[in-house]
Amino acid sequence: MKNTSLRRTLLKTYISLLFIAFIPTIYSSVVTQIHIRQYSQIISNVGTANNINSTVKNDIPAELWNIISGKQAIQDGNQYHMLDEVYAKLSLMLMINKNAESRGKLEVANRTTATLRRNIDMLISQMKKGSTVTQNEATLDEIRTITSLFSDIMQDFIVTEIESANKTNQSLRNTSIILAALQIIITIIAIIISINGFIKVSDAIEKPISDMENLSTKVAHGDLTARIDIPHVDELDTLAANLNTMTSQIDVLIKKNMEEQKNFQKAEMKALQAQITPHFLYNTFDTIVWLAEEEKTDEVVRITKAFSQFLRISLSRGHEWITISQELDHIQNYLTIQKIRYADILNYTIDADEDLMDIKMIKLVLQPLIENAIYHGIKNKRGRGELKVSVHYSDETKNFIRFVVEDNGAGFTEERLGQVRNELRTGAVDSEKLSSVYGLYNVNKKLKLYYGDQTDGLIIESEAGKGSKISFTIPSNRS
């Protein structure tokens, strides 16, 4: 009778412990699924918005121009089909989007689409009536104005969706706090259950229960290294093993969380430091002071304007994506400053295709490459240094854009070039030891993070005494 009572008591204890242990898992699974659906919807919305933005801003005006210029007959035009697709996608997003602010922007976009259709109808109608090319071009200009307005609305919608993603991220953080609270409550409940079991079966298994009580007390006080010896009692062996496993897992999770937080903070700090290096700031201010003392007012104004623009683009209101034109302006300002400082040893040229200027790219990837060329190439050679930056389509398909930074500086020896390439591949293991190539490593990692398999990262070619060439390729389909 006594053994039966013991089994019943321990069975109730096990069921209770398992139930409360699953509460965080169930809660976490449900909340995670909700957040995953929210993230998926946001990503889908942003992708759809970019797609219809490109259609309205680029494809429809191009189709109408082909009709106006006589390259295509009116009846062969695809503009209405594209408008129908845009309207269908907007309607679908309106149907599934629950965010009031986002819905407001989508409704405005819908009305803008209707206005665009009326203007296209007017253009087609006047062409059928025999209007002049000048009249048609004027109407097309009005249509382009509407498409630009539509593009601005969709950009605002994308910003709103990103803000929703940030709110979802904050909700995830709150979930982590709730889970931590649940763990504390679970620990307290486990202590209560253990003490209750101890009282009921103390005569039969006093020491094993006493050991479990001591273990739970230590865990409650933060000693997650504590373990319990297996009592070799059939009814208690599983419970003892589970307690050890739970304590070990909590210890591992806490340590892992602390380590991830440290790594995250380090990554944020290094990312900021990689954007604007302190020595560049100090040297620029020193140069401004020196020019002011020499009463070179024009140079002071010039370098100050360049420095102001450099900082403005570096910050970019926190945006990660800027146009190629802005990225080239950024390095132009940087090189203007460096040209004033190193007038006797630095010449530079920037060669870029004009039709690439409005394409979006991840920001601040060229400046670290140019800085590397100046400080580790040109400054370490005799005579005047030549630096060239070029931006062109990589092939005739125009699917990819190639960026190249060349210098005629000191270059790398074959051995050092091999070391640098290896550090770019394996530097993530211990980025503290990257020293002089951290800027290159940071750019390479950034390219891989944002473009994935669509880029091979940095490609370095160099020969000692003759200079270096660093290049990378990105897709051209982000607009």
Residue 120 resides in a domain:
yes
Identify the pLDDT of residue 393.
92
pLDDT at residue 8 in the model = 64
Of 5-14, 106-115, 364-373, minimum mean pLDDT range: 5-14
Residue 425 lies inside a defined structural domain of this protein: yes
Tens-digit pLDDT profile for residues 141-193: 888 898 888 888 888 888 888 888 787 777 777 777 887 777 788 788 777 77
Residue 7 lies in a domain: no
Calculate mean pLDDT across residues 18-38: 73
Of 54-58, 79-83, 151-155, 268-272, the one with minimum mean pLDDT is: 268-272
Mean of the pLDDT values across residues 54-62?
87
Q: Which letter, b or e, does each residue of 436-467 get, where b requires 16 or more Cβ atoms within 10 Å of its Cβ?
A: ebbbbbbbbbbbbebbeeebebbebebeeeeb
Categorize the per-residue pLDDT at 26 as very low, low, confident or very high, splitting at 50, 70 and 90: confident
From residue 175, alpha-carbon distances to 32, 42, 169, 171, 204 in Å are 9, 20, 10, 6, 42
Q: Which candidate, 18, 113, 129, 34, places its Cα nearest to that of 74?
A: 129
Provide the pLDDT for residue 474.
93
- Point out the domain boundary residue: 177, 202, 232: 177
What is the pLDDT, as a whole number, of residue 374?
A: 86
State the CB neighbour count (10 A cutoff) for residue 51. 14
**Mean pLDDT score of the chain:** 79
What is the average pLDDT across 193-220? Answer: 69
CA 86 to chain centre: 27
- Domain identity same for 154 and 283: no
Q: Among 177, 202, 220, identify where a domain stops.
A: 177
13, part of any domain: no
Q: Is the model more confident about 443 or about 18?
A: 443
Condensed to tens digits (0 to 9), the pLDDT of residues 66-101 reads 888 878 888 888 888 988 888 888 888 888 888 888
pTM of the model: 0.44
Q: Which domain holds residue 71?
A: 24-177
Flag the least confident range among 161-170, 213-222, 224-233: 224-233
- Read off the pLDDT of each residue in 278-290 and give the average, rounded to a whole number: 73
How far apart are the C-alpha atoms of 330 and 352, rounded to whole Å?
14
Question: What is the predicted pLDDT for the residue at 265?
Answer: 43
Q: What are the C-alpha distances in Å from 472 to residues 331, 366, 369, 390?
A: 16, 10, 11, 11
* pLDDT for res 317: 60
User: What's the sign of the alpha-carbon dihedral 236, 240, 245, 246?
Assistant: positive
Q: Are residues 467 and 357 in the same domain?
A: yes
Percent of the chain having pLDDT more than 90?
Answer: 9
The verdict on 417 and 288 lying in the same domain is yes
Residue 198 binned pLDDT confidence (cut-offs 50, 70, 90): low
What's the token pair of residue 154? 């969709």
pLDDT for residue 271: 53
CA dihedral 267, 268, 271, 275 (to 10 degrees): -160
Contact (CB, 8 A) for 155 and 360 = no
- Could you tell me if residue 81 is inside a domain? yes
Whether 246 is in a domain gets the answer no
Backbone angles phi, psi at 46, to 5 degrees: -65, -45
pLDDT of 351 strictly over 90? yes
For residues 356 and 324, the answer to whether their CB atoms sit within 8 Å is yes
Write down which residue in 177, 196, 228 finishes a domain.
Answer: 177
Q: Is the pLDDT of residue 17 over 80?
A: no
Please say if the pLDDT value at position 121 is more than 60: yes
For residue 232, pLDDT beyond 80: no
pLDDT surpassing 80 at residue 390: yes
Same domain, yes or no: 302 and 413: yes
Residue 389: predicted pLDDT: 94
| Shared domain check, 309 and 172 | no
Residue 1 has pLDDT above 50, yes or no: no
| Calpha distance 250→233 (Å, rounded) | 25
Strands 400-407 and 385-393: antiparallel
Residue with tokens 């040893």: 345
Domains contained in the chain, number: 2
* pLDDT tens digits for range 424-471: 877 644 545 555 677 788 888 888 888 888 888 899 998 888 889 999
pLDDT grade for 4, boundaries at 50, 70 and 90: very low
Helix (H) / strand (E) containing 405: strand 400-407
Quick check: is 133 in a domain?
A: yes
* Phi, psi torsion values for 404, nearest 5 degrees: -135, 130
CATH of the domain at 431: 3.30.565.10
| CA 175-179-183 angle, 5° bins | 170
**CATH (domain of 125):** 1.20.120
Pull the structure tokens for residue 419.
Answer: 């070391």
Do residues 231 and 208 lie in contact, with contact meaning Cβ atoms separated by under 8 Å? yes
Check: CB of residue 160 under 8 Å from CB of residue 101. Answer: yes
Per-residue pLDDT at 9: 65
The two tokens of residue 393 are 């389509």
> Which residue, chain included where needed, has tokens 């005047």?
384
Question: Which is it for strands 385-393 and 346-352: parallel, antiparallel or unpaired?
Answer: parallel
CA separation for the pair 300, 292 (Å, rounded): 6
Q: Considering the domain boundaries, does residue 395 fall inside one?
A: yes
Q: Are residues 338 and 449 in the same domain?
A: yes
* 439 vs 315: CA distance, rounded Å: 18
